[in-house]
Amino acid sequence: MPDLNIIIAGLLDAVTLTNLLYIFAGVAVGQIVGAIPGLTILMALAIAIPLTYSLDTLTAVAFLISVNKGGTVGGAIPSILLNTPGTPESAATALDGYPMAKKGKPMKAMKYALYYSVFGDLSSDIVLITVAAPLALIALQLGPVEILALMILAFTVISGLVGDSMVKGLIAAALGFLVASVGIDPTQGTPRFTFGMLDLYDGLPLSALTIGLLAVGEIFAQIAGATKDASTGTPIQINSDNPEDNTVTLKEFLANKGVAIRAFVLGTVIGAIPGLGSATAGFLSYSVTKQAAKDPEAFGTGDPRGIAAAETANSAVVGANLIPLLTLGIPGNISAALLVSAFIIHGIQPGPLLFEQQGRLVYGLFGAMLIANFANLFVGQFGMRLWAFAVGAPNSIIFPSALLLCMTGSYITSGGFFGVFVMLIAAVVGYLMRAFGYSIVAFVIGYVLTPQLERSLSHALLITDGEIMAFLHHPIAIALVILSMVSVFYLGPKKRKPASTK
Amino acid sequence: MNIERILGGGAAIFGAFLLLYLIPNFVTDSDGMMSPTLFPSIAAWMFILFGSIQAITSSEPLKLPSAREFIRSGMIALIVLAAILAMEWLGFLIVATAFMAILTMFMYERRPIWLVATIIVMPICVWLVFELLLRRPLPPMLF
C-alpha cells in the first residue's frame, strides 16, 4: 500500500487549475449528453477519449470519469421531464420522477434526483477509496494461475449477465477474442491475421473500434429510424409558480435517508460485481424499496422515495465498478472497459500493480473523483434549467454532429484514415450485433481482456511447465473455475427481460 | 427456420472456416509453450460450439428492425465511406460541410436555422477545437 506522502501528493495532484477545469467541463459534458435522449454516456465516453489524447494522464482520466459521473445526473432529466430515460441507467427514475413532474413539480423532481445521485456517487467513491488498496494487496498474492481462473470467471459471469442469452453473449465474447488476436502475438512475436497490412501489426486501434461499436453503430440506428415528425425541438416549462415546488429542503432530503442508505449499499455491491450495471441497480433498489414500504401504492405517483431509491443506487455503481478494475484489472462493465482503453492510450495497465507502481496517479484519480462529485452538484444546481432545453434539441442536429465528432476522433487517435475505416467497419458490426441481439458489452470486454488473458495463460503454463495436473495444486484457482461452471449453469439457461433486469 | 437458428448456424460455419482456412493460412505458428494459434482456435471452437447450441435450441423469433431501417443504415454507412474517401483528397472542412448537409437532409431537417447550425457552424467548431485548441491536425486539402 502506498505511504501517506504518496497518498497526499496524489490527492493534491487533482487540485490543479487544469484538472479542476477539465473536471467541471467533463461533468458539464456528461450532464448535457445524459440529458439528450438517444445519446448515451458510453457514446460520450467513446467520443471523449480522443479529446484526451494530448492531455496529461491524470487530467485525461479525471475528465473521462467526470463525463461518466455527469451522465448519471443528466440522464435523470429526460426521465423526469419526458418519461424517456436519457440513459438506460435512469429508466427507474422515470417511475416516480415523471409523475412528480406531471404534478407540476419538475424542478423539485430534478433536484431530488441530483441530490440523491451525488449522495450515492460520493458514498460509493469513499468505499472505493477505502477498500481498493487493501483488495489490491490481496490480489497481488494471487499467482498467474489464480488470475487466469479469475478472468475465466469474469468472462462467464459477464457473458451470462449481459444481453439476451448467455450463448449469444459467449459468441460475442468469442468475436472479441478473435478481433483482439489481430496483430503481433504477445508471447511469440509472430503475426496473426495481418493479411500483409502493416497497419494491422499493432492490432486494431482500440479507440476507433470502441467509437465504432458503441457510438457510431447506435447513431446509425438513430438516423436510420428517423421520421419526418421526430426531430422537432420544443423548450419545456420546468419552473413552477410555487417556490416550494422548485426546491428540496434539507428536511425533505433527510426524510428519505433510510431509503438512500439502503440504495447506496445495493448500488455499491452491484457495482463491484462484474457484468451488472446501473440500470439493474436502479430497478432492484426501486423494487426493494417499494416492497419494504408500508404504503407501496404511493410509488409510481410521484413519491420522492422512488427517486431516492433509483438515483442513489444507479449512481453508487459508478465508483464501485472501478473496484474490480483497479484491484484486478478486470473491467466490471463497459464504462470501465472504456476507461481501460484510456489508461492504455496513456501507457498504463490497470490492475493490482497500479497501486505499487503508480500510487500517486491512483490517489490523484481518487481525488479527482471526489471533486467531480461536488462539481456534479454545483453544475447540476445551476445547469438544470439549461439542460432542460437540451432535452428538446432536435435529433437532426444531435446525431449528425455526434457522427462527425466520432469520425474526427477516430482520425485523431489513430493518426490517419486507417482508424476511420476501422471505426466504420466496427459500426456496421455493432449495428448488426444490436439488431441480432448479440451483446456488444461481452464483445468489448472480451476484446479488452484477451491480451491480459493470453499473458496470464502464458505465465501459468510457464510456472506449471505445461502440466495440466499442476493446476490441482492451486485450490483458489480450482474454486474459481468451479464457480465459473456454476455461473454457466445458473445464468446460462435464463432468458432476461431487458427492461427490468439489464 | 427462424433467424436465430440461421445466425447460430452461420456462427458455427464461420468457426469451422476460421479453424480450417483462416488460422492455418493467416496465423504464423512457432515453437513454444503457447502456440500463437491457441486463442484464435479457442475463438473458433467457441463459435462452433455456441453457434451450434444456438442453432439447435433457439425457438423464439427475433424482433428485427424494419427493412426501411436496414436500407437507411446501409445508405448511411455508404455516405460515411464516401466521406472518408473524399476527405483524403478534399480535406476536412469541405467534406464535413457536405457530409453534414446530406445527413441533416437524410433526417428530414428543413428549418433554415438548424440547417445553418449543423452544416456551417458545427464543422467549423470541430475544426477549431481540434486544429487550434488541441493542436491535432485534421486532413488538409491535397490540391
Alpha carbons within 13 angstroms on the beta-carbon side of residue A306 total: 26
pLDDT (mean) for A138-144: 77
Of A220, A399, A407, the CB nearest to B77: A220
Question: At A92, which amino acid appears?
Answer: A
Whole-number pLDDT of residue A28: 93
| Structure confidence by residue, pLDDT tens digits, A379-418 | 998 888 777 777 767 888 888 988 998 899 888 878 889 9
Q: Is the pLDDT of residue A466 over 90?
A: no
Task: Examine the domain organization and report whether B50 and B9 are in the same domain.
Answer: yes
pLDDT in tens, A425-448: 999 999 999 899 898 878 888 888
Q: What angle do CA A103, A249, A271 make, to 5 degrees?
A: 85
B115 and B93 within one domain: yes
How many pairs of residues across A and B have Cβ atoms under 8 Å apart?
187
For residue A474, name the pLDDT band (cuts at 50, 70, 90).
confident
Domain count of the fold of chain B:
2
* HEC letters along A215-284: HHHHHHHHHHCCCCCCCCCCCCCCCCCCHHHHCCCHHHHHCCHHHHHHHHHHHHHHHHCCCCCHHHHHHH
Section A97-112 average pLDDT? 88
pLDDT of residue A501: 34
Domain of B23 in residue numbering reads as: 3-57
Q: Which helix (H) or strand (E) covers residue A389, if one does?
A: helix A359-391
The verdict on B24 and B75 lying in the same domain is no
Report CB contact under 8 Å: B34, A188. Answer: yes
Instruction: Examine the domain organization and report whether B53 and B97 are in the same domain.
Output: no
> Which domain covers residue A131, as residue numbers?
4-501
The confidence score (pLDDT) of residue B136 equals: 81
In terms of domains, do B47 and B101 share one? no
Residue B139 in domain: no
Nearest to A323 by CA among A374, A286, A271: A271
Q: Of the candidates B11, B39, B57, which is a domain's last residue?
A: B57
Does pLDDT of A371 surpass 70?
yes
Last residue of a domain, one of B14, B35, B57: B57
Whether residue B75 sits in one domain with residue B108: yes
Gyration radius (Cα) of chain A, Å: 22
Tell me, what's the pLDDT at B40? 93
> Residue A233 above 60 pLDDT?
no
Number of domains in chain A: 1
Residues of chain A in contact with residue B73, where contact means CB-CB under 8 angstroms, are 220-221, 223-224, 431
Q: Do the Cβ atoms of A405 and B34 come closer than 8 Å?
A: no
Best probe of the B interface among A404, A449, A463, by most B CBs < 10 A, is A404
What does the pLDDT read at residue A78? 80
Q: How far is residue A34's CA from residue B101's CA, in Å, rounded to a whole number? A: 26
Q: Do B72 and B122 fall into the same domain?
A: yes
Q: Do A193 and B134 touch (CB under 8 A)?
A: no
Look at residue A387 in the predicted model and tell me its pLDDT: 78
Question: In this structure, are residues A301 and A105 in contact, taking their beta carbons and an 8 Å threshold?
Answer: no
- Kindly report, residue by residue over B123-142, the tens digit of the pLDDT: 999 899 888 877 788 898 77
State pLDDT tens for residues A19-57: 999 999 999 998 888 887 767 777 788 878 877 877 888
Q: How far apart are CA A254 and CA A260, in angstroms?
A: 9
Q: In B, which residues are within 8 Å of A467 by CB distance? A: none
Asked if the model's pLDDT at residue B72 lies above 80, the reply is yes
Q: Which residue of A has its CA nearest to B61?
A: A436
Contact (CB, 8 A) for A10 and A360: yes
- Which are the contacts of A75, defined by CB distance < 8 A and separation ≥ 6? A34, A35, A41, A85, A86, A87, A89, A90, A93
Given this model, what pLDDT does residue A54 score? 79
Per-residue pLDDT, A305? 93
- B44 and B78 housed in the same domain: no
Do B53 and B71 lie in one domain? The reply is no
Distance CA A119, CA B61 (A): 43
- A 399-458 residues inside an 8 A Cβ radius of B: 399-401, 403-405, 407-408, 411-412, 417, 420-421, 424, 427-428, 431, 435-437, 450, 453-454, 457-458
Looking at the fold, whether B71 and B127 belong to one and the same domain comes out as yes
Does B32 map to a domain? yes
Contact between A479 and A152 under an 8 Å Cβ cutoff? The reply is: no
pLDDT top residue among A500 and A463: A463
> How confident is the model at residue A452, as a pLDDT?
78
Q: Are A462 and B33 in contact (CB under 8 A)?
A: yes
| A201/chain B closest Cα distance in angstroms | 12
> ipTM of this complex > 0.85?
yes
> A237-274: per-residue pLDDT in tens?
666 677 777 788 899 999 999 999 999 998 888 888 77
Report percent pLDDT > 90 for chain A. 23
The closest of A6, A65, A90, A480 to A314, measured between CA atoms, is A90
Given phi > 0 = left and psi -120 to 50 = alpha, else beta, which region is A415? left
Q: CA-to-CA distance for A279 and A93, rounded, in angstroms?
A: 10
Residue A500, pLDDT score: 39
Tell me: do B122 and B97 sit in the same domain.
yes
pLDDT band at A67 (very low <50, low <70, confident <90, very high): very high
What are the phi and psi torsion angles at B13 (to 5°)? -65, -40
- Regarding whether B127 and B81 lie in a shared domain, the answer is yes
